[in-house]
Structure 1
Amino acid sequence: MTLNSGPLCSFGIIADVQYGDIDERYNFHKTRLRNYRKSLVLLERAIRSWTSEGVDSVLQLGDIIDGLNKVHNASRNALSSVTDVIKLFPGPVYHTWGNHELYNFTQEELRGSDLFSGNMPQCACPEGKSYYSFNLHRKLKVVVLNCYEISMLGLPKHSEEYKQAENLILQNNPNESLNNPDGLQGTNRRFVKLNGLVSDSQLKWLKETLQKATNDEENVIIMGHVPICEHSAESMFLCLNHTEIMEAISTYSSCVICYFAGHFHEGGSYVDSSGILHVTFAGTIESQEMDAYATAYLYSDHLAIRGKGSYSSYETKLKFPYDRI
């Protein structure tokens, strides 16, 4: 019997805020309304709720500002607006980057911005890289991927990373617009410019981090903007090398409990054959409700994710339970 049945720690989760001081409009397929100004209100409501509850930290899953800000020369103003709201939260906020950040800024610029969390003292980040890890509790590690380390977004066109992504997409997508998946079948729909992939060196780092977590009996959450499980999101929104990432985390399924992503605004979830819960969180930008976030609670034997408004709720067992006797 434990001395205390309450949560060991708690953290907020939010994805695809995509703020901009822009009039509302429908998405590309004219199926979902995006309210760019309201999304900042929803972010602030989430921050104030987490602060009031005493939540320990926040995971921000990318696309916190919208790409249209670049068209309106408002990228820095938009970033300043969301940063001002985030600073209302008294604890740490951990960010990953999505395609919309990279429509506005280069990856080098983002490394020098408030949206780079790898330089926090509690984070372990390889020098010069933008992926990192940290512990929310001695029994819970979070591993943050850069799903656009190799991509056509936020990188110089002459760089090897840009060329590698471009060649891969061109080999698989014959459409004039490389953001158009028309005619592509199944998971090949992912070969669009709005996706990227992790490098071999990032995969190596991921495996080494998971091996150490296994040795230390730490439960692990992996987060990246882009989904990796084809059953948790529409195929168009999968990471370009999702199979390699899936293989890596399956090898270390004895420690990995969840993979968190955004990117696909309708959201979705799936428990894979290794028992890992994949959650694609709904896009706050398209929420028609007055709340759009989740709060997660780490207990001694499970993680409970409680959705608010347009966000769903989930639970999953820990691989390494915590004995507090």
Structure 2
Amino acid sequence: MASTNGLSNARATHPLFSFGVITDVQYADIPDGHSFLGVPRYYRHSIQVLRRAVNHWNNIKKLKFSMNFGDIVDGFCPRDNSLAAVQKVLDEFHNFNGPVYHMIGNHCLYNLPHSDLTALFKIPSLHGEAYYEFSPSPEYRFVSLDAYDISVLGRPRDDPRAAVALRFLEDKNPNIDKNSPVGLAGLEKRFLMFNGAVGKEQLLWLDNVLKESTEQGQKVIVGCHLPLNPNSATAASLLWNYEEVMEVIHRYKCVKVCFAGHDHKGGYSVDSHGVHHRVLEAALECPPGSDAFGYVDVYHDRLSLVGADRMVSTEMIFES
């Protein structure tokens, strides 16, 4: 999975900054179980993975911030315990010696409304939405997308975005169970209820941010709970309108890397425009004693993901 460009060793050895990464903790105080495909899931152990991640990040003493790519609690979490479970995981993140930036995932929305999560996660949006951007250094900007902007999950039934999402699913997925991909072919398998889309206002916002970043000579790192490239993830895990999002991204040359979660096994690819796509391995699927977290060293010409255990280390060297 890692790039093996031999020149990397001769390049700058001190990063501009570094940040921690973890995804899909999906904690719940319930016995271990399995995914629909039979993959083991360790609901109680996952918070221990997070605890070790935070300790590791703090011991490095050089991380500027950390990123959680979504799904901090699991959909099987008992509903009367949802808020307490979310708060328990957030308390672990609060032990990190620096800012923590969160993204909303589908399992978060099985437990609590979208608006509640935006507040609980203290998402730094100027417009009350769950997408945002920040500049950790003059040379770089981080853009965090809301993959559930258009979604039937976590929205009131009278919310126009929920209505749009419901009509979309009715049109795209003929199954009564909208989480079933039966009869869907190829990339159509992404049209499932547990996925979502980036709305028109967010797309316009993204375009404006990337235009401004280009004018300022900034490189951009994009984060999204749902993957944006079919070569880095299974079809069933993709953002509904990933093509629209990538069309905006490809208008500019500033975006260098797109990180995502959701597809628990992880993945990596470089698209036709040289954008790196790294889907991170899930904390939830770590057997007791194993881990999946990491940190990213950011350089002028590359990003270097240093993974722990099941999170694969990846060198992402920019084409230009």
Distance 1:205 1:26 in 2: 38
The residue number in structure 1 matching 2:4 is: none
Which string of whole-angstrom CA distances, capped at 9 and with x for unpartnered residues, describes residues 145-200 of structure 1?
A: 00101100010112211111111111111112111111100111011100111111
| Contact 2:188 2:235 (C-alpha < 8 Å) held by counterparts | yes
Distance 1:99 1:272 in 2: 26
Which amino acid is the alignment partner of residue 315 of structure 1? Answer: E
The residue number in structure 1 matching 2:46 is: 39
Deviation at 1:300?
3.2
Query: 1:90 aligned to 66, 72, 97, which one?
Result: 97
Deviation at 1:72?
4.6
TM-score scaled by structure 2?
Answer: 0.93
Query: 2:83 aligned to 50, 53, 76, which one?
Result: 76
Number of matched residues?
A: 309
The residue number in structure 2 matching 1:7 is: 15
Deviation at 1:5?
3.6
Deviation at 1:129?
1.8
Aligned ranges for residues 266-281 of structure 1 at < 5 Å? 266-281=265-280
Q: In the alignment, is residue 51 of structure 1 matched against residue 58 of structure 2?
A: yes
| Contact 2:234 2:263 (C-alpha < 8 Å) held by counterparts | yes
Structure 2 vs 1, CA of residues 143 and 319 (structure 1 numbering), >3 Å: closer, same or farther?
Answer: farther
Which string of whole-angstrom CA distances, capped at 9 and with x for unpartnered residues, describes residues 14-63 of structure 1?
A: 01000011100111122x11011100000000000000001221010000
Distance 1:302 1:258 in 2: 9
SS state of the match for residue 286, structure 1? coil
| Contact 1:59 1:93 (C-alpha < 8 Å) held by counterparts | yes
Which amino acid is the alignment partner of residue 133 of structure 2? Answer: S
SS state of the match for residue 240, structure 1? coil
Deviation at 1:318?
4.6
Deviation at 1:291?
1.8
Distance 1:193 1:233 in 2: 17
Alpha-carbon RMSD across the aligned residues, in angstroms, is: 1.6
| Contact 1:219 1:319 (C-alpha < 8 Å) held by counterparts | no
Which amino acid is the alignment partner of residue 18 of structure 1? Answer: Q
The residue number in structure 1 matching 2:264 is: 265
Q: In the alignment, is residue 117 of structure 1 matched against residue 117 of structure 2?
A: no
Deviation at 1:298?
1.2
Which amino acid is the alignment partner of residue 302 of structure 1? Answer: R
| Contact 1:297 1:305 (C-alpha < 8 Å) held by counterparts | yes
Which amino acid is the alignment partner of residue 30 of structure 2? Answer: I
Distance 1:161 1:85 in 2: 32
SS state of the match for residue 89, structure 1? coil
Unpaired runs of 5+ residues, structure 1, are 119-124, 321-325
The residue number in structure 1 matching 2:225 is: 225
The residue number in structure 1 matching 2:282 is: 283
SS state of the match for residue 97, structure 2? coil
SS state of the match for residue 80, structure 2? coil
Deviation at 1:319?
7.1
TM-score scaled by structure 1?
Answer: 0.92
Distance 2:149 2:247 in 1: 19
Aligned ranges for residues 1-325 of structure 1 at < 5 Å? 5-30=13-38, 32-54=39-61, 55-69=63-77, 71-113=78-120, 115-118=121-124, 125-252=125-252, 254-288=253-287, 290-318=290-318
SS state of the match for residue 304, structure 1? strand
Distance 2:162 2:105 in 1: 16
SS state of the match for residue 73, structure 1? helix
> Larger deviation: 17-26 or 128-137?
128-137
Distance 1:93 1:53 in 2: 16
Write out the 4+ residue segments of structure 1 that deviate beyond 6 Å after TM superposition.
none
| Contact 2:19 2:295 (C-alpha < 8 Å) held by counterparts | yes
Which string of whole-angstrom CA distances, capped at 9 and with x for unpartnered residues, describes residues 116-161 of structure 1?
A: 321xxxxxx3422221000122111100000101100010112211
> Larger deviation: 287-296 or 239-248?
287-296
Structure 2 vs 1, CA of residues 150 and 8 (structure 1 numbering), >3 Å: closer, same or farther?
Answer: same
Distance 1:156 1:117 in 2: 20
| Contact 1:221 1:257 (C-alpha < 8 Å) held by counterparts | yes
Which amino acid is the alignment partner of residue 139 of structure 1? Answer: E
Distance 1:213 1:76 in 2: 37
Which amino acid is the alignment partner of residue 196 of structure 2? Answer: G
SS state of the match for residue 284, structure 2? helix
Distance 1:82 1:128 in 2: 23
Distance 1:117 1:194 in 2: 22
Matched-pair identity in %: 36
